[in-house]
């Protein structure tokens, strides 16, 4: 699943807030589930089961959200394996864009395009 949002839509007083949908969260109460947040290139940014294990730009993480200091594209993944053999996995790609990037001749255009590169 892809979620296309603007940086302004997820900006809050504490940083940029990435929220997991309640329908996905129903699976997180299962102790057999693992959740992770990744950069676009596959590097781990945060793990809700180990909140101390975060790398920049992550500020805080919980089972239903991640807060970052920068607006970046991120992947969320949940994988559940139950004792009865059932398997559930779901991934969400948060694709963000800076609103100024769509304004022609904007002085902010170069800054905005940097946020969408694979260099973090």
- Considering Cα of 39, then 42, then 48, then 53, what sign does the dihedral take? negative
- Judged on CB neighbours under 10 Å (0-12, 13-18, 19+), 98 is buried
Output the pTM of the full model. Answer: 0.73
pLDDT digits (tens, 9 = 90+) for 12-49: 999 999 998 776 666 556 667 888 999 999 999 999 98
Residues in contact with 112: Cβ distance below 8 Å, sequence separation at least 6, in sequence order: 97, 98, 100, 101, 106
Position 106 scores a pLDDT of: 37
Residue 89: band (very low, low, confident or very high) from pLDDT cuts 50, 70, 90: confident
| Domain edges within the chain | 2-90
pLDDT digits (tens, 9 = 90+) for 97-114: 987 544 444 333 333 333
pLDDT digits (tens, 9 = 90+) for 58-73: 999 988 899 999 999 9
Position 61 scores a pLDDT of: 94
């Amino acid at each position: 699943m892809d979620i296309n949002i603007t940086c302004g839509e997820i900006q809050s007083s504490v940083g940029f807030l990435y929220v997991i949908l309640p329908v996905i969260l129903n699976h997180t109460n299962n102790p057999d589930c693992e959740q992770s947040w990744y950069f676009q290139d596959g590097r781990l940014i945060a793990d809700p089961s180990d909140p101390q294990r975060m790398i920049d730009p992550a500020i805080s993480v919980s089972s239903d959200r991640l807060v970052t200091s920068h607006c970046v594209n991120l992947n969320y993944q949940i994988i559940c394996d139950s004792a009865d053999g059932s398997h559930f996995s779901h991934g969400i790609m948060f694709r963000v864009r800076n609103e100024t990037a769509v304004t022609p001749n904007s002085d902010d255009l170069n800054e905005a395009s940097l946020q969408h590169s694979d260099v973090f």
